[in-house]
């Protein structure tokens, strides 16, 4: 089918005809959703390596008690920049990147609803990220308190007020993330408009791929969750530059208000981060199990339910601030209720594998590890959700363990599953499976060696965000083990980086449909032409390509 | 008190140090209540993990496609409403059970009424040390909170009022209670009732700036009579030195700007920026736990605290050797 | 793997297949996200009512901005007339009603400006005075900045129309702009109730 008799040539199919500057220009000026998607994901991966190296330095400092690898301030900047980068400059571009690349392809559209808004969103996002990193050079404010921000990724007031954070570093945090947020919102509006208004004929909402459904839910969450963060940052800037008192506790301001506003953003945010992961495995698990998604409509319902419930649980990050027992109980209850729709998802993925024929590609291995690690992450989340238990666990390494299981063990693993699955589509070449297995095993083992011990560190009373600790408090061995795990992880990541770079040139040609898959993106060439589909497709079920490949037994008979 | 013999023994032997702050070895009611709840919660989650994780692993192993196996697609199954209902309803039941016990424990710990005879202390968080005030006794001390142990139910627990002078801190001694944040412009409360005499280690548990890591905390739980002795001793003003050299040393101290930040009750020093030094030598550590309170350490601290706790709010005072000798000599009299 | 040939959608199917206008979805999304932003500022205002530790307090310095409110709310009406005129191709009337809308919006802004001038220079309430000042100027200012953005776009439409651009071809966009304007008005009702009614 890939024989396209269209008179245009595209630069990345025939790069030799274009000079370097022309190629560069064509990428910078592009409004093509696929290129923007790839740019988002590449940016995210670059930032991931940077923030991962920061984490490695932190683990080096914490490997032994009383280490002097870095200064205290430097350590504080490292975890702030690590957390901020991972959340805003790694997780968020994955959301935007995956949805940009795949949503139009999966719904049989030729572009996004607002292509130029899309390009605007990317560049604004990148600019925000650069502002944040410019703090390393630019934030040596008059009083010399500068360099990168050191207030933690949730920047609790009043530590961020002028009195306690001099110089300009906190301003770089607030403005950089504010600007990046505008880009994120632009991209979310675009995804919603695209999925709602540009589906190809026959693709009713009930036939829309789960991936697209989840991306719509995540965009909805972005619309509602990012503005509270922006509001926080505006208020902080008013405090810092105009002498306002929103969070100025000396003048009647409230320190807890920031926490409420931040977590009204922050909790939906963590679901925003996991959604692209969920969306990816909702495609890869069925394809590699050779079965349709079990309980599709239940999956959609669960996603939407999570979208709503996740907006009413924010104060579970604040069980220790001294809320009333009523409030604590309410937020504990709503938090635990999320286990129900999330459980539905886990069960449906498992049921999809049940009775299937699992093809253990690298992509599928990441998806399987995701399932188990997300189960652990979710169950530790429940432990945190039990308010009294959280009084002990909050701000300890147990929380660090919980959220790395969600963010690395679940989100990142699922994203890798997606990358191994769609890389052939985006580049026309397969990723190397041997390198892929190396990547998988090293990352999986390294990850668990790093983060499993952290649960016990939490039980033994180790608080988070400490740059050093004294020997003899029961933390020495576990910290050393955790640090060793990082080396193993880094080998895995190196294998991945090499795989991606190498396969772009020397990978096995993929063909249009290497996985024998069922959604529309596999019906066009790899990489797809700029206009995606030569003909406007029409679909009759949620697995249009299954219908074509199995005319005797099509899906639409059952839906 | 009740058993004089046991009390004598306790007084004779030094207090046990609970350096490893294991939250699963609780030694006070709030921590114990949470511990009981946590066992239940961990039991349930472990059970779920075993069942669900087992199913996932079973599926991965059992349904693997064998190389060269039957190339046909497996039966296409789209779902089942009964099954969906089952795995919706069962988690809902579990969650409701969890909510029920959570609600009970929250109310039990948080809404605990203050019994008569409770000890009162005010905890004031500073960057990066703790100030403890006992309003009923007029005592001010730092970094080591002394409380009496509880031998019977409801017997003199300590009720803490938590305030902060600057940013948010969090009071956490895992073996005694969960943490409660120490927030400026807001008054929080919590309570503890240690069962056994001992020294319980804890930390500031909310990131509060550069030296958050070295904002350590100790709770010294004593038998009621030891506690009473301690109170009596702390109530006294600083001893006035009689030795002429020490007198000279005190004059040096009083002329330095130390007194702008530190208080020594009974002398011209009444600063409130730093820890009260009136009975410094009765404390085990200096600098909120960064080091043991030994003469050498004390000297090193006063010489240059920035070398020991970089970024802390006490500046390098650049004392001459002679001044340093005198100041240290004087401070060592503050028993 | 074998490539699959995708069936082309027959023309009648393509024509029958109707989905919502993407502009509609876009503008509704924008309004939702803006509402979330305002909600936080409104909540902050409500939270800080009566928490100022020094004066001036709202009851001392605020009076109802009746005229400004009437102007802004009626501009929602005039823009509907403008929209109707445009729909029926009556460019003259469209210009008239659009001009009226711009004028009413501008009066509102001028009023806000003079209110702020009075508060700052005569009543000595600035954004740094107390939490009332901080929340007041942020919330009212956030709203005013939205009025300003709306006015800018309305003026742009006005200018291109006066320059002879066939604005009726852009009816959709004008319609979306009017929705945004209604939204700004609706927010004012909330700001008004919170700041001038509840907060006093
Ligand atoms: C991808 C991100 C992600 C995800 C998906 C989650 C998911 C969950 N999280 Fe987590 N969380 C974070 C990222 C995430 N979290 C981050 C980053 C922080 C720290 C921020 C910071 O402080 O820096 C945090 C912190 C955090 C806290 C605050 C801790 C503290 O600081 O004191 C709490 C407390 O309740 C919590 C709870 C939960 C719960 C209940 C879930 C639930 O969604 C989990 C639901 C899933 C399951 C339960 C498993 C599957 C279900 C079944 C098999 C059904 C049967 C189960 C039952 C009946 C129980 N999380
Ligand atoms: C997506 C989110 C994400 C991810 C992926 C990670 C990944 C990792 N994180 Fe992090 N983390 C957070 C989100 C994330 N983290 C957040 C939100 C916080 C809270 C911050 C705060 O408190 O404010 C945090 C905090 C945090 C802490 C706690 C700090 C503290 O409280 O004091 C620690 C400590 O160990 C840590 C470690 C790690 C490690 C070892 C990894 C590893 O998995 C990283 C693995 C990656 C590498 C090791 C990179 C290696 C790559 C190479 C070496 C290749 C070289 C490159 C080329 C040649 C091109 N993280
Ligand atoms: Cu005080 Cu951390
Ligand atoms: Cu949360």
pLDDT given for residue B6 in this prediction: 39
pLDDT given for residue B10 in this prediction: 41
What is the pLDDT tens value at each position of chain A, 559 positions in all?
Answer: 333 344 344 444 444 566 788 888 888 878 889 999 999 999 999 999 999 999 999 999 999 999 999 999 899 999 999 999 999 999 999 999 999 999 999 999 988 999 999 999 999 999 999 999 988 877 664 444 458 889 999 999 899 998 898 888 899 999 999 999 999 999 999 999 999 999 998 899 989 999 999 999 999 999 999 999 999 999 999 999 999 999 999 888 999 999 999 999 999 999 999 999 999 999 999 999 999 999 999 999 999 999 999 999 999 999 999 999 999 999 999 999 999 999 999 999 999 999 999 999 999 999 999 999 999 999 999 999 999 999 999 999 999 999 999 999 999 999 999 999 999 999 999 999 999 999 999 999 999 999 999 999 999 999 999 999 999 999 999 999 999 999 999 999 999 999 999 999 899 998 889 999 999 999 998 899 988 988 888 888 888 888 888 888 787 777 6
Q: Is B14 exposed, middle or buried (0-12, 13-18, 19+ CB in 10 A)?
A: exposed
Whose CA is closest to A447, among A54, A45, A44, A55? A55
Percent of chain C residues topping a pLDDT of 70: 97
Residues of C in contact with A190 (CB under 8 A): 26
Check whether C4 has a pLDDT greater than 80.
no
Distance CA A134, CA A148 (A): 8
Chain B residue with minimum CA distance to A542 = B78
Distances (CA, A) of A408 to A91, A267, A437, C8, C70: 10, 17, 17, 42, 55
Q: If pLDDT is split at 50, 70 and 90, which confidence band does C200 have?
A: confident
Whole-model pTM: value is 0.94
pLDDT given for residue B13 in this prediction: 56
Distance CA A290, CA A301 (A): 23
Q: If pLDDT is split at 50, 70 and 90, which confidence band does C95 have?
A: very high
Q: If pLDDT is split at 50, 70 and 90, which confidence band does B1 have?
A: very low
pLDDT tens per residue, range B249-295? 999 999 999 999 999 998 888 899 999 999 999 999 999 999 999 99
Check whether B335 has a pLDDT greater than 80.
yes
Check whether B41 has a pLDDT greater than 90.
yes
Complex ipTM value: 0.94
pLDDT given for residue A16 in this prediction: 53
Distance CA C197, CA C167 (A): 41
Those of residues 110-169 in A touching chain B at CB distance below 8 A are 150-152, 156, 158-159, 163-164
Q: Which of A112, A225, A227 is the mutation pick for testing C, counting most C CBs within 10 A?
A: A227
Q: Is the CB of A342 under 6 A from ligand 1?
A: yes
Distance CA C193, CA C198 (A): 6
Distance CA B59, CA A357 (A): 10
Q: Is B21 exposed, middle or buried (0-12, 13-18, 19+ CB in 10 A)?
A: buried
Residues C103-117, mean pLDDT to the nearest whole number = 95
pLDDT given for residue A140 in this prediction: 62
Residues B45-63, mean pLDDT to the nearest whole number = 96
The residue whose CA has the least distance to atom 42 of ligand 1 is: A378
Cα–Cα–Cα angle for A299, A304, A309, rounded to 5 degrees: 120
Q: Is A68 exposed, middle or buried (0-12, 13-18, 19+ CB in 10 A)?
A: exposed
Q: Is the CB of A400 under 6 A from ligand 1?
A: no
Length of chain C: 200
Pocket (CB within 6 angstroms of ligand 2)? A 49, 52-53, 55-56, 58-59, 79-80, 82-83, 86-87, 90-91, 152-153, 400, 404, 407-408, 412, 450, 464-465, 486, 489-490, 493-494, 497
pLDDT tens per residue, range B201-246? 999 999 999 999 999 999 999 999 999 999 999 999 888 888 899 9
Chain C residue with minimum CA distance to A514 = C1
Q: Is B291 on the interface with A (CB under 8 A)?
A: no
Pair type for strands B169-173 and B119-126? unpaired
Distance CA B115, CA B118 (A): 6
- Between chain A and chain B, the number of residue pairs with CB atoms below 8 A apart is 281
Through-space distance between the first and last CA atoms of chain B, rounded to whole angstroms: 26
The residue whose CA has the least distance to atom 1 of ligand 3 is: B169
Distance CA A397, CA B21 (A): 13
Atom from ligand 2 closest to the CA of residue A53: 49
């Amino acid at each position: 089918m890939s024989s396209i008799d269209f008179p245009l040539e595209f630069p990345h199919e025939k790069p030799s005809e274009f000079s370097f500057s022309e190629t560069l220009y064509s990428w910078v000026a592009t409004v093509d959703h696929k290129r923007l998607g790839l740019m988002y994901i590449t940016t995210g991966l670059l930032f991931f390596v940077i923030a991962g190296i920061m984490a490695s330095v932190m683990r080096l400092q914490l490997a032994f008690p009383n280490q002097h690898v870095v200064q205290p301030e430097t350590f504080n900047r490292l975890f702030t920049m690590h957390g901020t980068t991972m959340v805003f400059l790694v997780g968020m571009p994955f959301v935007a990147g995956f949805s940009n690349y795949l949503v139009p392809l999966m719904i049989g559209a030729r572009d996004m609803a607002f292509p130029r808004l899309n390009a605007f969103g990317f560049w604004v996002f990148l600019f925000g990220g650069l502002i944040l990193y410019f703090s390393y050079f630019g934030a040596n404010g008059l009083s010399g308190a500068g360099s990168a921000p050191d207030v933690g990724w949730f920047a609790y007031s009043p530590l961020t007020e002028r009195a306690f954070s001099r110089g300009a570093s906190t301003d770089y945090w607030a403005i950089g993330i504010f600007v990046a947020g505008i880009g994120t919102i632009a991209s979310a509006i675009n995804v919603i408009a695209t999925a709602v208004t540009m589906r190809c004929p026959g693709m009713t909402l009930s036939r829309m791929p789960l991936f697209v459904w989840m991306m719509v839910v995540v965009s909805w969450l972005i619309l509602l969750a990012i503005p509270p963060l922006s509001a926080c940052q505006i208020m902080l800037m008013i405090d810092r530059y105009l002498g306002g008192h929103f969070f100025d506790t000396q003048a009647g301001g409230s320190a807890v208000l920031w926490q409420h506003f931040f977590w009204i953003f922050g909790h939906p945010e963590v679901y925003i981060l996991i959604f692209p992961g969920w969306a990816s495995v909702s495609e890869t698990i069925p394809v590699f199990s050779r079965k349709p998604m079990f309980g599709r409509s239940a999956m959609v319902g669960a996603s939407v339910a999570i979208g709503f419930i996740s907006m009413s649980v924010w104060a579970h990050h604040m069980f220790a601030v001294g809320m009333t027992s009523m409030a604590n109980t309410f937020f504990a209850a709503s938090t635990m209720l999320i286990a129900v729709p999330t459980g539905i998802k886990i069960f449906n993925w498992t049921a999809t594998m049940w009775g299937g024929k699992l093809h253990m590609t690298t992509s599928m291995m990441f998806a399987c590890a995701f399932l188990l690690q997300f189960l652990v992450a979710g169950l530790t989340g429940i432990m945190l959700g039990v308010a009294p238990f959280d009084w002990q666990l909050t701000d300890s390494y147990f929380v660090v363990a919980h959220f790395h299981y969600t963010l690395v063990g679940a989100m990142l693993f699922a994203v890798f599953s997606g990358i191994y699955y769609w890389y052939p589509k985006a580049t026309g070449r397969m990723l190397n499976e041997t390198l892929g297995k190396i990547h998988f095993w090293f990352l999986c083992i390294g990850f668990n060696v790093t983060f499993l011990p952290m649960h016990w560190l939490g039980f033994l009373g180790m608080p988070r965000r400490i740059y050093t600790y004294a020997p003899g408090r029961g933390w020495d061995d576990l910290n050393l083990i955790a640090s060793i795990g990082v080396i193993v992880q880094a080998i895995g990541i190196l294998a991945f980086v090499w795989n991606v770079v190498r396969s772009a040139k020397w990978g096995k040609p993929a063909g249009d449909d290497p996985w024998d898959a069922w959604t529309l993106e596999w019906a066009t060439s790899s990489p797809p032409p700029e206009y995606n589909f030569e003909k406007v497709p029409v679909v009759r079920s949620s697995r249009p390509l299954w219908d074509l490949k199995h005319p005797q037994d099509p899906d639409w008979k059952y839906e | 008190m009740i058993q004089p013999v046991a009390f004598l023994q306790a007084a004779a032997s030094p207090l046990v140090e609970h350096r490893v702050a294991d939250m699963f070895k609780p030694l006070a009611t709030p921590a114990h209540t949470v511990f009981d709840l946590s066992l239940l919660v961990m039991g349930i989650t472990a059970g779920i993990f075993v069942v669900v994780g087992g199913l996932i692993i079973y599926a991965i192993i059992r349904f693997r496609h064998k190389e060269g196996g039957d190339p046909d697609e497996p039966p296409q199954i789209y779902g089942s409403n009964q099954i969906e209902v089952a795995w919706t309803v069962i988690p809902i039941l579990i969650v409701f059970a969890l909510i029920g016990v959570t609600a009970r424990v929250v109310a039990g710990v948080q809404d605990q009424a203050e019994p008569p005879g409770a000890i009162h202390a005010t905890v004031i968080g500073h960057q990066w040390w703790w100030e403890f005030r006992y309003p009923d006794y007029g005592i001010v001390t730092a970094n080591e909170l002394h409380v009496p142990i509880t031998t019977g139910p409801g017997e003199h627990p300590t009720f803490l009022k938590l305030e902060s002078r600057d940013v948010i801190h969090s009071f956490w001694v895992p073996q005694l209670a969960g943490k409660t944040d120490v927030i400026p412009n807001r008054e929080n409360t919590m309570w503890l009732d240690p069962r056994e005499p001992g020294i319980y280690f804890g930390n500031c548990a909310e990131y509060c700036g550069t030296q958050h890591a070295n904002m350590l905390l100790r709770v010294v739980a004593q038998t009621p009579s030891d506690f009473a002795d301690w109170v009596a001793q702390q109530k006294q003003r600083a001893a006035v030195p009689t030795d002429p050299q020490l007198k000279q040393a005190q004059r040096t101290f009083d002329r330095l700007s130390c007194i702008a930040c530190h208080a020594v009750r009974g002398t011209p020093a009444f600063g409130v920026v730093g820890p009260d030094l009136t009975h410094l030598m009765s404390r085990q550590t200096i600098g909120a736990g960064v080091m043991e309170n030994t003469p050498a350490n004390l000297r090193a601290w006063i010489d240059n605290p920035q070398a020991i706790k970089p970024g802390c709010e006490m500046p390098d005072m650049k004392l001459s050797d002679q001044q340093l000798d005198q100041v240290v000599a004087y401070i060592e009299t503050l028993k | 793997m074998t490539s699959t040939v995708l069936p082309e959608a027959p023309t009648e199917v393509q024509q029958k297949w109707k989905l919502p206008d993407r502009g509609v979805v876009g503008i509704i999304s924008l309004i939702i996200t803006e509402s979330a932003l305002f909600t936080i500022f409104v909540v902050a205002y409500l939270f800080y009512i009566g928490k100022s530790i020094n004066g001036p307090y709202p009851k001392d310095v605020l009076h109802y901005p009746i005229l400004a409110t009437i102007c802004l709310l009626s501009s929602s009406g005039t823009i509907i007339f403008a929209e109707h005129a445009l729909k029926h191709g009556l460019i003259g009337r469209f210009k008239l009603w659009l001009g009226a809308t711009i004028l009413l919006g501008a009066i509102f802004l001028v009023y806000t400006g003079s209110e702020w001038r009075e508060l700052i220079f005569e009543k000595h309430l600035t954004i740094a005075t107390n939490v009332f000042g901080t929340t007041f100027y942020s919330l009212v200012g956030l709203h005013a900045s939205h009025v300003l953005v709306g006015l800018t776009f309305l003026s742009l439409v006005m200018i291109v129309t006066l320059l002879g651009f066939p604005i009726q071809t852009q009816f959709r966009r004008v319609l979306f702009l009017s929705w945004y304007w209604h939204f700004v008005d609706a927010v004012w009702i909330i700001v008004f109730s919170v700041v001038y009614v509840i907060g006093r």
